Chain A
Amino acid sequence: MIDQFFEGNLPREQWKEFSTHLSQSFELRKEFRKRAVLDDHLHSIASNVDYPALAPEKKFKISPIPLVLAAACLVIGLMIITTTPNTESNREVMGDKINSEIQEADSIAQLIDHYDTRILNQPTDPHEIKFNRGHYEVARGSIHLRFLDCVDFLFSGPGSFEIINPKLVKVTEGKIRVIVLNKKGHEFTIQTPTNQFIDWGTEFCLNVQQTEGDLINIHEGEVEVISLQDNNFSERLNRHSQGFQNTGDKTVKINKRLNNSTPGGMGDLRNQQIIKTLSEDKNVIGVYDFKQSQSNLDLLKKRTPLYWTAHLDRLVLPRYVENSHKTSEECSHGVFHGANRTNGRWEKSRALNLFLKHAHLSLDLKNDYKNFSLAIWFMQTGKLKKPLNNLVSPYKWEKFGNLSIDISRSGKISQHLWGETDLSVKTYGESKIEEGWNHIVYTFGKEEKEVQSKVFLNGKLVNEAMPQWTQHISLKQMLIGASKNMQGQFYNGLRFVLDELTIWKKTLTEQEIWNQYLDGLPIYDLANKNIHALSKKRNELRTIH
């Protein structure tokens, strides 16, 4: 709080507490005075103030800088008022309610997701592209755009499309999925060389092929098909339609198996790429994606956690969580108890649902690690029952290097190290576990000759400590989701789903953690089949940072 006071960031609700502590402790006041010295001296160095001090005339004058700045602002302000063109009169009036909502500087479509996308004559990073009216040649990959929060347009190349206005897109070739999100999106139209497809809500797929015509599959709602070649032909189709009632448009066919890229599908592909990269990274010792193991049971049994070796005969293939790393054998395979597999963050990913009160995942680490990182995606599914609920802990709390990461009843994450009774932990902010998926990372390692032990939540540092004695992390037998008491019973106050556990023998940097968090945020709520609110949040975070 002293730090925050001198930064000017002390939250208002903490002022009273801060003042009370300060008034009650001589040592704290001394620390406060010392900190004042630090703060003032750093300002002086940065301002290049020389000691001895200022000359008297300079000293007693009011600084001219604020007056000059104020004058400059006034002049600039006057200039802006007199010279800015009237954008209202210059804006093209389309007679369309949607168009009148668009400011000239805005994009018509917002990028939601992408995978392996390359759009010719545009920046390589799709996030740098402003999707306004215009032609887009997609050389490869997929892109997910949202038009004015009312229509999702998913396009896979190779192919091209042209944005005419927020409700009309021309496609010459490519694979499309259109989802109308709300009534405002009704009448969103895809125009191919031969037809128009008007979406009356809610979802359809379309393949536009240069030579073979258009293929359509309606998943929900109705789509009106209008032939551009035959003025008389127009028909509304729905998901029950097997063919055209009228003579039919020969340039379009219904294909019930058509199922193009889905929301979240691109993220899934991207995530698979990330898992593949991690499984080849020499600094990674364990990657667990919780999918059903493809390996032979005998092979898995060779790297069973020690605790379970006494029960090998009971272990069947589905109980194993395979360590997907291609070469490292420093982490065992995992074995879970009191849990089952469930949907993960992505369309095809799997996670572990620890729902019973003694549910846990066992893992063994071969060595002690001077540099160590652990990351998981975590979604709470039940109440936090105990004041402290174990997320990560050793089987036995017995020696230096043993680490415990816990979650309090209020959702705050804390860390404990064996033997560090006076561990001074600095916490930052009021960060707590949020609803939905959370990214939790722990790192341990030396930073500028000091050992640092840190916990990150959703990309941000939430607490850190400088242990006095601990030089390595020792989790030779690790438990996730529970701890074990002296009687050998597992107990846990957590009910949660665990997705994508990764363990490194290096200390991740803050930038690496932030990137992992950003890349791992799911954009599609599988349970509700909705675009997750996080898709917007992720794009905002990417813009800010």
Chain B
Amino acid sequence: MATESDHNQNETFLKLLAQSEVVLRAYLRSLVNDQNHLSEVLQNTFIVGWKKYDQFSGSRNDFTKWLCIIGKYEALKYRQSLARDRHILSEELVQQIANEGESDISSYSLWIGKLEECLKKLSPPNRELIKQAYSPNSSIKDLALKENKNANALYQKLSRIRNQLATCMDKTPVAPV
């Protein structure tokens, strides 16, 4: 039977999770092949993090980094299950990216903050296009058919918008999230 202390611990964990999730996702995305893998690894990270939470003692920022380290190992473990597929990044490379990311966790918050600012600068049609293109279960071909446009042109347009955002992120100085 859950005690009041257990209940408080749950609540604290969830609050910390909520505050860290956006950075955790961004960090893990560079370690996995695609969004489906990301969802799996995220779930596993949450489960392990929850199980080991009683071992954690530190501040909110420490929690994010702690969870990212758990995520790194979950990503590497998940990668091993796909290791027969030659078309994934090598273990050494994933380790390298993970370690560099780990030592630079604060950058993720900064980038996300800048990205939020840059997204506001996008024109409404481009923002709408991004939303539609990145919706779950969407495909560019279907979107092109729906909009009566050339699918290839749509791919190119999305690519340009992403490049625009990436360039904007480099230029924009903004406070972190």
Interface residues in chain A, defined as those with a beta carbon under 8 Å from any beta carbon in chain B: 3, 8, 10, 12, 15, 19, 22-23, 26, 29-30, 32-47, 51-56, 59-60, 426, 428, 447-448, 450, 459-461, 510-511, 514, 544-545
Contact = CB atoms under 8 A, between A and B. Distances in A.
A47 B97 contact: no
Given A15-B87, A38-B165, A510-B156, A43 B35 contact: yes
9 contacts: A10-B87, A12-B87, A33-B107, A38-B169, A40-B26, A40-B29, A46-B131, A52-B18, A56-B50
What's the dominant secondary structure at chain A's contact region? helix
A459 B112 CA distance: 36
A46 B29 contact: no
A52 B134 contact: no
B12 interface: no
A36 B108 CA distance: 10
Given A47-B136, A511-B150, A3 B159 contact: yes
Contacts of B111: 34, 37
Contacts of A448: 123, 164
Nearest to A16: B86
A290 B164 CA distance: 41
A397 B154 CA distance: 35
Contacts of B86: 15
Contacts of B169: 34, 38
A507 to B, nearest CB: 14
Contacts of B47: 60
Contacts of A52: 15, 17-19, 21
Contacts of B43: 59-60
B9 to A, nearest CB: 12
A46 B135 contact: yes
Contact of A37 (B33, B108, B132): B108
Contacts of B119: 45
B46 interface: yes
Contacts of A40: 25-26, 29, 38
B131 A56 contact: no
Nearest to B119: A45
B131 A30 contact: no
A44 B177 CA distance: 16
Nearest to A513: B153
A5 to B, nearest CB: 8
Q: Which of B33, B150, B166 has the most CB of A within 10 A?
A: B150
Contact of B89 (A22, A30, A33, A37): A22
A448 B35 CA distance: 30
A447 B126 CA distance: 13
A460 to B, nearest CB: 6
A37 B30 CA distance: 8
Contacts of A544: 151
Contacts of A450: 164
Nearest to A33: B30
